[in-house]
A = this chain, B = another copy of it.
Amino acid sequence: MTSALDFSTDNCQVARTMAILGERSTVVVLREVFNGVRRFDDMQRHSGVPRQVLSNRLAMLVDEGILRRVPYRPEGGRERHEYRPTAKGLDLYPVLTALAEWGARYVADPEGPAVEMRHRDCGEPVHVALECGAGHRLDDPREVVPAPGPGAIAVR
């Protein structure tokens, strides 16, 4: 019987992803950027993340290639920078959507969730669906089973 214990976790991509997103307020910063709040002070005021931490997180996210600093010049002002998601950052939308959906079910206020993802083209709420390579739709999460991937490293 093969067990997860037979494989190393050193190169687990989930752990690596969480090493980025798991720093306490990283996802909050991403939520701001995805919500269109892209300037330092706006983010700071809106999210309440301490300036130092916000500064660190933005630098880290730029470093990881998830955000990029884009210069702009407000009329009659000097040059500023704003933070926008890159393609790599936009690919986190399924993660954010899954988090928002779980949160809406389990931790939202009784009035409902504070934020909803919607389809740009039709305005309907977006949700995440699990599908397999054979085209089956997985309605019950119990149908998902983790398995070692091609990069799995055997131990012992």
Q: Could you list which residues of chain A lie within 8 angstroms of chain B, going by C-beta atoms?
A: 3-5, 7-9, 11-18, 20-28, 31-32, 34-37, 42, 46-48, 88, 90-109, 111-122, 124-134, 136, 138, 141-153
Find A98's partner among B28, B31, B94 (CB 8 Å cutoff).
Answer: B94
Which chain B residue shows the least CB distance to A6?
A: B46
| Contact yes or no, B127 A131, CB < 8 A | yes
Q: A5-B46, A21-B22, A114-B151 are in contact. List 12 more A-B contacts (CB 8 A).
A: A11-B114, A16-B107, A95-B102, A113-B151, A114-B148, A116-B148, A117-B146, A122-B132, A124-B132, A126-B132, A127-B132, A128-B129
- A18–B33 Cα distance when bound, in Å, is 16
Most chain B beta carbons < 10 A, residue from A115, A122, A144, A150: A115
| Contact yes or no, A141 B94, CB < 8 A | yes
Q: For A118, what are the chain B residues with a Cβ–Cβ distance below 8 Å? A: 132, 144-147
